[in-house]
Structure 1
Amino acid sequence: MTDERPARAAGLRERKKRRTRDALLRAALLLFISQGYENTTVDEITETVEVSQRTFFRYFANKEEVAFAVQDLVESHFVAALGARPAGEPPLAAMRGAVLAAWDTLDEALSEVVPVDLYMQAYRLIESTPALLAVHLRRSTELEERIARLVAEREGLDLDADPRPRIAVAAFCGVMRVTGRLWGQGEDVSVTAIRRMTEAYLDQIGPALASDWHRPAPVEGG
């Protein structure tokens, strides 16, 4: 009979490591939100969780990495949703459907790591902290390329020969940046608020590019 104890022990170690990483992540985000990213030290994060600096650096290279750890999960959640869209769906429709589906299932996707409300506050922090926003914009460029490659694969196109996937993704991601910034400046920081704004702004891509701008844009809910 196979001895299952080593496998169980390995599983316990992995769960313990995951709990420690998640505790550091939650502590860091709470400190960033309460006293500011720049004003928070690694020492304060580790003291909150009662672990050593060495433990912190076992999981995160620096404060920047921990600040964007949940954003990594959210972006991967969106990419997975995009990959799951129907094959015949046009690119912009697929991206629109994927981002709305990702917002609808965000709580479930993050529940084992951080509360969704904590992530939304952290996302607002990124949008309002110059040092983090600069990193966010750089990361967004990298994400755009990742999405463009996925769109090209869905459409059976050579990304290096056909500019359309990058153009479509640039339009989509431009809308996402606008909605993220405007949502971050508002009073309602809920998932519902950013989802509603995202949907309304994405629906304006076609009219904005093709219609007569001398006519006023339709007002949401009007």
Structure 2
Amino acid sequence: MTVEQPTATGSATGLRERKKQRTRDALLRTALELFTTQGYEQTTVDEITDAVDVSQRTFFRYFTSKEEVAFAIQDTVEERFLEGLRARPAEEAPFDALRSAVLDAWDTIGETITALVPLELYLGMFRVIECTPALLAVHLRRSIEMEENIARLIADREGLDVDADPRPRVAVAAFSGVMRITGQLWVRTGDTSLEAIRAITETYLDHLGPALAADWGRARDRAPRAQAAPVEDDQGQ
């Protein structure tokens, strides 16, 4: 059997691609380190490129703006979730598919993130986004766009018209609310492990159904209120 040997052209192409990937990774990690240590708005593109020893032209070859760098890893996480959701079995109910997709994403995304940046740096960017008005506004806009994409994906799975049936958007809005809460709680706990955010996410998703129930049991658990004594008028005295 003849084994094809790599050509000089193929080797050169592979080397160039690896070099490009290393440059992009270095720009990404350096930018996030500067954002988390001195602030997003205080960091310039020149500082990022000087630290990596490349030109501004090189930076803009990989990223259109500082904003794109700030959300680059989040893009990877979201795309992994969407891929997982598309692959869920068709017979799964919408909430079950959403729950399984996000938990599976947290099970498998760790190596992808840590290949680029430490988890502590990824967590630090959560704090930067929450504390930077410009980034927070972008984050909210991105969340709205993501919710719409998920709602349409869920509607397609169920054979529904997303513009005629409100259920996909309502379900995704509830799911997205849980995801925002779990992300905020993860930042506050100080535990930077992916196991931690997965556990918080699973707990809160498992409480989503009961939380939407009509009766939370308050009437059963609450002690009866004391009835106020009747007020007598002058004629009853």
| TM superposition score normalised by structure 2 | 0.83
Q: Is the 8 A contact 1:127 1:184 kept in 2?
A: no
Report the counterpart of residue 140 of structure 2 in structure 1.
137
What is the rounded CA distance, in whole Å, between the counterparts of 1:30 and 1:191 in structure 2? 20
Aligned to 1:38: 41
- 8 Å contact from structure 2 (residues 119, 193) kept in 1: no
Q: Which amino acid aligns with 2:94?
A: P
Give the whole-Å Cα distance in 1 for the aligned partners of 2:127 and 2:144. Answer: 19
Identity over aligned pairs, percent: 65
2:102 to 99, 105, 110: 99
CA deviation map 1:163-213 (0-9, x unaligned): 211111111001111222233233333322222221111112111111423
**Match of residue 187 from structure 2:** 184
Of 53, 57, 68, the residue aligned with 2:56 is: 53
Per the alignment, do residues 175 and 7 of structure 1 end up closer, same or farther by CA in structure 2, a change over 3 Å counting?
A: same
- Picking from 150, 167, 178, the partner of 2:153 is 150
Report the Cα distance in structure 2 between the residues aligned to 1:24 and 1:52, rounded to whole angstroms: 11
Q: 1:211 to 1:193 in 2, by over 3 A?
A: farther
Partner of 2:30: 27
What amino acid is the match of 2:206? D
Q: Which secondary structure does the structure 1 equivalent of 2:173 belong to? A: helix
CA distance in 2, matches of 1:185, 1:108: 23
Query: Where does structure 2 lack aligned partners over 5 or more consecutive residues?
Result: 220-237
Tell me: CA distance 1:200–1:153, structure 2 relative to 1, closer, same or farther (3 Å). same
RMSD value over aligned CA atoms? Answer: 2.1
Query: Which residue pairs with 2:117 in the alignment?
Result: 114
Post-superposition Cα deviations, 1:11-64, rounded to whole Å, max 9, x if no partner, equal 222221111011100000111111111221111111111111111111111111
2:192 is paired with a residue whose SS is coil
What is the rounded CA distance, in whole Å, between the counterparts of 2:194 and 2:53 in structure 1?
32
The correspondence for 1:73, drawn from 59, 66, 76, is: 76
Alignment partner of 2:10 out of 7, 12, 19: 7
Residue range with higher mean Cα deviation, 120-129 or 98-107 = 120-129
Conservation of the 8 A alpha-carbon contact between 2:119 and 2:192: no
- Counterpart in 2 of 1:161? 164
- Higher mean C-alpha displacement, 73-82 vs 8-17: 8-17
For structure 1, the 5+ residue unaligned runs are: 217-222
Q: Counterparts of 1:2 and 1:195 in 2: how far apart (Å)?
A: 45
1:83 equivalenced with 2:100 (yes/no): no
- Residue 174 of structure 2 is matched in structure 1 by 171
**TM-score, length-normalised on structure 1?**
0.88
Partner in structure 2 of residue 220 of structure 1: none
- CA change 1:105–1:111 in 2 (3 A) is same
Counterpart of 1:43, as a letter, is D
- Per-residue CA deviation, residues 146-176 of structure 1 (Å, 9 max, x unaligned), is 1112112222222222221111111100111
- Are residue 207 (structure 1) and residue 210 (structure 2) matched? yes
In 2, distance between residues paired with 1:64 and 1:160? Answer: 31
- Structure possessing the higher radius of gyration over alpha carbons: 2
Shift in CA distance, 102/160, structure 1 to aligned 2, threshold 3 Å:
same
The answer to which of 107-116 and 133-142 deviates more is 107-116
What is the alpha-carbon distance in structure 1 between the residues aligned to residue 132 and residue 196 of structure 2?
21
